């Protein structure tokens, strides 16, 4: 049975000494956040959390206790799905929406989550975007009611080069939680996600109609080469199965069907989103399953989804000087493969960097089908623009290099329609700053 959305929880009451440390850390963190924004360094959420957890190292573990938590994790789509889910719960809560706290700015590590929760000590419902490496600690300390597992993909290869290791950490944490573990909403198209969630007490499976399979060729359980059925309109890559063991794609409860979402009853509802892309319909399907499990009605959840337009700047249409742009964040080959078909402008700007937040290894560029950009004016930008230019040269894509992102933006000024910009994390944040969106 779905949970009762109106059921209240009581965030953990901290000892007096911990409350004082938390207050001191919050005040100092707030001051640092104000300075960060004044210097144009960002929203300040991360630095606030870093100072808070330096002064009170147990802040994360203590702040997540006693709340009703819905967590969203995975390589791609965390931020947008978290926005969908938070919007659905706010709509369902109505006048009690102030009971909810979320880390809407995408600060999803321990200190970012602690920062958001410290600012809302009395909020008893938390919708948390959670980095893949933080899931284990959240399960141990926060005991989330619902955990959304979206997908696994190669991302920041120098840091998360072994994605099966992350999947195993999820699997072990869920197994250790036992009957106290969360209800899991899981992507049935992703073999690693299925393996991680296969022993959970209750799983709500979502067929996301994924098109990316390059990170899921081998069975995570026995290592055999996975087999797939013939593709269809509803299953673009075909259902998967392992010939070497019992791991197989489970029957789905919710299904993506074009721009519709099929409910467990068989009824189809229109997603009616205000963000583009088939991958966002998949994100919405997962958020819908989680919202319904948390006690939100389907109509309220869909109404909440319709209010999400540019989550943390993604898909924002904005002006920078005399240039009109649409900003798209893509961080890895799976994300780029989903985003490139959305490009409708000519010219387009592609911005690449390789600092820690982007991942230092850019060899993933060779796994992306840039050939679909042939015939357009393509501007390569960012500190790794020449790496991208080499890839485009081999793909016979005409291009020019304007390494400085500001110069690339000025090069497309005066267009009547938005120019599409796809960027990795660091240049995307620079563009948000230039546009005054952070």
3-state secondary structure of 150: coil
**pLDDT of the residue at 155:** 63
* Residue 109 and residue 40 in contact, taking contact as beta carbons nearer than 8 Å: no
Half-sphere exposure of 143 (CA within 13 A, CB side): 12
40 burial (CB, 10 Å; 0-12 / 13-18 / 19+) is exposed
**pLDDT of the residue at 188:** 97
CATH 3.40.1190.10 corresponds to the domain 16-311: yes
Work out the angle at residue 321's Cα, subtended by the Cα atoms of residues 320 and 322, and round it to the nearest 5 degrees.
105
Distance of CA 281 to the CA centre of its chain: 13
CA distance 133 to 1: 30
According to DSSP, the residues that pair with 320 across neighbouring strands are 323
The CATH number of 316-434 is 3.90.190
Phi, psi of 45 (to 5 degrees): -65, -40
**pLDDT of the residue at 303:** 98
Q: How far apart are the first and last CA of the chain?
A: 40
Question: Active site residue: 361, 367, 387, 396, which one?
Answer: 361
358 to each of 311, 330, 362, 418, 421, how far by Cα in Å? 19, 10, 9, 25, 16
Element housing 260 (H / E): strand 260-262
Distance of CA 58 to the CA centre of its chain: 25
**pLDDT of the residue at 160:** 44
Residue 345: cis peptide before it, omega within 30 degrees of 0: no
Domain boundaries, the chain: 16-311, 316-434
Per-residue pLDDT of the chain (438 residues), as tens digits, is: 789 999 999 887 777 777 777 777 777 877 877 777 666 666 666 777 788 888 888 889 999 999 999 999 999 999 999 999 999 999 999 999 999 999 988 889 998 898 889 889 899 999 999 999 999 999 999 999 999 999 988 764 444 456 788 899 999 999 999 989 999 999 999 999 999 999 899 999 999 998 888 888 899 999 999 999 888 777 777 899 999 999 999 999 999 999 999 999 999 999 999 999 999 999 999 999 999 999 999 999 999 999 999 999 999 999 999 999 999 999 889 899 999 999 999 999 999 999 888 888 899 999 999 999 999 999 999 999 999 999 999 999 999 999 999 999 999 999 999 999 999 999 999 999 999 987
Residues 6+ apart with CB under 8 A from 149: 73, 74, 170, 184, 185, 186, 187, 193, 196, 197
* Residue 241 and residue 227 in contact, taking contact as beta carbons nearer than 8 Å: yes
**pLDDT of the residue at 157:** 46
CA distance 7 to 3: 8
Phi, psi of 398 (to 5 degrees): -65, 135
**pLDDT of the residue at 158:** 46
In 3D space, the residue among 91, 95, 89 whose CA is nearest the CA of residue 72 turns out to be 89
CA distance 325 to 436: 13
Say what the alpha-carbon torsion angle 339, 344, 345, 348 is, to the nearest 10 degrees.
20
* Residues contributing to the annotated binding site: 219, 222, 242, 245
CA distance 16 to 20: 6
Q: Give one word for 258, left, alpha or beta, with left for phi > 0 and alpha for psi -120 to 50.
A: left
Residue with tokens 């620079």: 430
* Residue 96 and residue 5 in contact, taking contact as beta carbons nearer than 8 Å: no
**pLDDT of the residue at 41:** 65
| Residue 124 bears catalytic tag | no
């Amino acid at each position: 049975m779905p949970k009762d959305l109106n059921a209240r929880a009581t965030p953990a009451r901290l000892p007096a000494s911990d409350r004082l440390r938390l207050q001191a850390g919050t005040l100092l963190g707030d001051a640092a956040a104000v300075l960060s924004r004044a210097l144009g360094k960002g929203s300040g959420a991360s630095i606030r959390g870093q100072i808070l957890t330096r002064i009170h190292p147990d802040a994360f573990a203590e702040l997540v206790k006693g709340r009703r938590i819905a967590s969203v994790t995975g390589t791609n789509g965390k931020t947008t799905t978290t926005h969908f889910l938070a919007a659905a719960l706010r709509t369902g809560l109505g006048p009690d929406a102030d009971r909810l706290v979320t880390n809407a700015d995408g600060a999803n590590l321990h200190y970012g989550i602690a920062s958001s929760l410290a600012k809302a000590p009395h909020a008893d419902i938390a919708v948390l975007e959670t980095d893949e490496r933080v899931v284990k600690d959240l399960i141990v300390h926060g005991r989330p009611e619902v955990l959304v597992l979206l997908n696994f993909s190669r991302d920041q290869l120098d840091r998360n080069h072994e994605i099966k290791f992350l999947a195993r950490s999820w699997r072990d944490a869920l197994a250790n939680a036992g009957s106290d573990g969360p209800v899991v909403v899981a992507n049935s198209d992703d073999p690693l996600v299925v393996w991680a969630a296969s022993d959970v007490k209750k799983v709500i499976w979502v067929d996301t109609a994924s098109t990316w399979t390059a990170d899921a060729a081998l069975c995570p359980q026995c290592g055999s080469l996975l087999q797939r059925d013939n593709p269809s309109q509803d299953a673009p890559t075909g259902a998967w199965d392992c010939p070497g063991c019992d791991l197989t794609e489970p029957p789905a409860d919710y299904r993506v069907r074009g721009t519709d979402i099929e409910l467990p009853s068989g009824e189809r509802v229109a997603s009616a989103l205000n963000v583009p892309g088939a991958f966002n319909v998949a994100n919405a399907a997962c958020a819908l399953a989680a919202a319904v499990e948390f006690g939100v009605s389907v109509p309220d959840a869909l109404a909440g989804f319709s209010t999400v337009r540019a989550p943390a700047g993604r898909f924002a249409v904005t002006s920078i000087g005399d240039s009109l742009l649409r900003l798209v964040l893509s961080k890895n080959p799976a994300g780029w493969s989903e985003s490139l078909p959305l490009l409708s402008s000519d010219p387009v700007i592609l911005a690449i960097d390789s600092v820690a937040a982007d991942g230092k290894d850019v060899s993933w560029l060779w796994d992306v089908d840039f050939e679909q950009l042939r015939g357009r004016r393509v501007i390569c930008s960012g500190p790794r623009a020449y790496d991208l230019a080499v890839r485009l040269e081999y793909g016979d894509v005409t291009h020019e290099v304007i390494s400085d992102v500001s110069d690339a933006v000025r090069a497309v000024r005066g267009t009547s329609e938005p120019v599409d910009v796809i960027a990795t994390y660091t240049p995307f944040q620079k563009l948000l700053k230039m546009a005054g969106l952070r």
